[in-house]
Amino acid sequence: MADNSPVTVAAGARAAAKDKPDKPRPKRQQAPLRVRMLRHAWLYVLLVPGVVYFAIFKYAPMYGVTIAFQDYLPFLGFSGSPWVGLKHFETLFTSPDFFRILRNTLLLALLNVIFVFPAPIVVALLLNEIRLSILKRAIQSSIYIPHFLSWTIVAALTYLLFALDVGPITQLMNSLFGARFNFLADPDWFRPLIILQTLWKSTGWGTIIYLAALAGVNPNLYEAARIDGANRWQQMRHITLPAIQSTIVIMAILMSGNLLDTGFEQIYLMTNALNRSVAEVFDTYVYFLGITQGAYSYSTAVGLFKAVVGIILIFGANWLARRFKQNGLF
């Protein structure tokens, strides 16, 4: 990287590819910026369409966040609506709901990190251990189906299976534990049910990205390892896991930015009068305020708060990854 002689470039890039952070570069060999940019003119050309896209469709609309500081009304528009400064943020932080919603959101986020995030990795690793290609493909093609069913359908199925006294799963659990389970109403069961739904719906779909990463592993490596006497566990630890390690890290960092996004529709459909105290999260709150009550500005303010938390988390996770000598996002 220091200069662009082929050898150093290759070595530098290889170092990066092997998940090692760059060594401090000897400054004296650095070519002038203009020269380096000209040398990679084609790379900039490749960047252009993407940059234009982000400018038009992502950055141009961003003036929309200003409505968090207004009393926005669609008809009056962005310039016609009155400015109110931080009013909506004050309302949010002083609201009696705020800490309850924050707590509910964080608890769900935590459960997502513990259960939902690792699930596709585990399943991908297990799938990778299946030798019979037809079976493997058949299982793969089955487990990703739930991704296509809407939350409305998932909720209807959950209500069917977990209904009080008559749901098949409720009956099974009642007879196993000799208790009367009220899964749908009991606030203690709300989070387990949500996590179960998410696991069911997203795990199979989540494996795809890891399976794609695993497709890049050279089968000869396993052969060599077996000859060296490595058992299945050792092969997984030393060949398979390293192959998807950087994907795991990237997925973890990406997830951290959306930690407070717990989904709206799923939770909304599972909420009732008896479990609302644990069910209300930012996404349902924003929906309720923004759509049902037309509080565009307030709900944007809540969204902005979430985004700030997200950006802190994502950069924090990236920093952490690099501290542990992993490839970060940049």
Partner 1 sequence: MTPLTRRLTAGAACAAVAAVGLTACGDDEPADLDTISMMVPLLGSQAPAADSELQQAVEEMIGKELDLTWVPNSDYNDRMTVTLASDDLPHVMVVQGKVPAFVQSAQAGAFWDLTDKLADYPNLTAEDDQILLNSSINGDNYGVFRLRDPMRTAVIIRQDWLDNLGLELPETTDDLYDIARAFTEDDPNDSGDDDTYGVVIPQWPGGYATASPYDVIETWFGAPNGWGEQGGQLVPGFDTPEFLAANQFVKQMIDEGLINSDFATMDSGTWDQPFFNGQGGIIIDVSSRAGVIMNLFKDQDPDNYGDYVAMTGNLAGPDGVLRSYPTIGYNGFLAISRQSVQTEEELDEVLSVLDAMSSQEAQILLNNGIEGRNFEVQDGFAVPIEGGDSDVEVLRNDVTSFAQLGTQSNGWLAYDVLPEGGPERELWDHRQEVHESDLATAVHNPAQPLVSETYVTRGAQLDLIIADARIQYLAGQIDEDGLAAEIERWYAEGGQQVVDEMNELYAQLD
Partner 2 sequence: MRSRKTAQKPTTASRVFDAANIVFLVALAVVTVLPFIYVIAGSLASEAEIASRAFFLWPRDVVTDSYDYIFSTDTFLRSLIVTILVTTVGTVIQVLLTFTMAYPLAKRYLPGRNVILMAVIFTMVFSGGMIPTYLIVRELGLLNTYWALILPLAINPFYLIIVKNFFQELPEELQEAARIDGCTDLGVFWRVVLPLSKPIIATMALFYAVAIWNDFMSPLLYISDTSKWTLQMFVRQMTISSDMANTLGQLDPNYIPPEQGLKFAVIVVATVPILLFYPFLQKHFAKGILLGSVKG
Query: What residues does 70 pair with on adjacent strands?
Result: 83
Nearest distance from C-beta of residue 274 to partner 1, angstroms: 5
Residues 77-136 that bind partner 1 (CB under 8 A): 77-80, 96
The answer to the question of residue 316 lying near partner 1 (CB under 8 A) is no
DSSP structure class, residue 57:
I
Residues 239-278 that bind partner 1 (CB under 8 A): 272-274, 276
CA distance 38 to 58: 28
Contacts with partner 1, 60-79, as mask; x by CB under 8 A: xx-x---------xxxxxxx
CA angle 308, 309, 315 (to 5 degrees): 90
Nearest distance from C-beta of residue 110 to partner 2, angstroms: 19
Nearest distance from C-beta of residue 164 to partner 2, angstroms: 13
Q: Contact, 210 vs 120, CB < 8 A?
A: yes
The answer to the question of residue 163 lying near partner 1 (CB under 8 A) is yes
- Which residues lie below 8 Å from residue 272, measured CB to CB, with a gap of 6+? 184, 185
CA distance 188 to 262: 18
Nearest distance from C-beta of residue 323 to partner 1, angstroms: 37
The region of 15-23, 52-60, 119-127, 321-329 touching partner 1 under the rule CB under 8 A is 52-60
* Residue 171: C-alpha distances to residues 147, 174, 185, 195, 200 (Å): 27, 5, 16, 21, 20
Binding residue for partner 1 (CB under 8 A) from 2, 15, 164, 173?
Answer: 164
Nearest distance from C-beta of residue 159 to partner 1, angstroms: 4
Q: For partner 2, which is the closer residue by CB, 52 or 188?
A: 52
* Residue 19: C-alpha distances to residues 13, 179, 307 (Å): 10, 52, 29
- Which residues lie below 8 Å from residue 35, measured CB to CB, with a gap of 6+? none
Which residues of this protein are in contact with partner 1, per CB under 8 A? Answer: 52, 55-56, 60-61, 63, 73-80, 96, 155-156, 159-160, 163-165, 182, 184-185, 272-274, 276, 288-289, 291-296
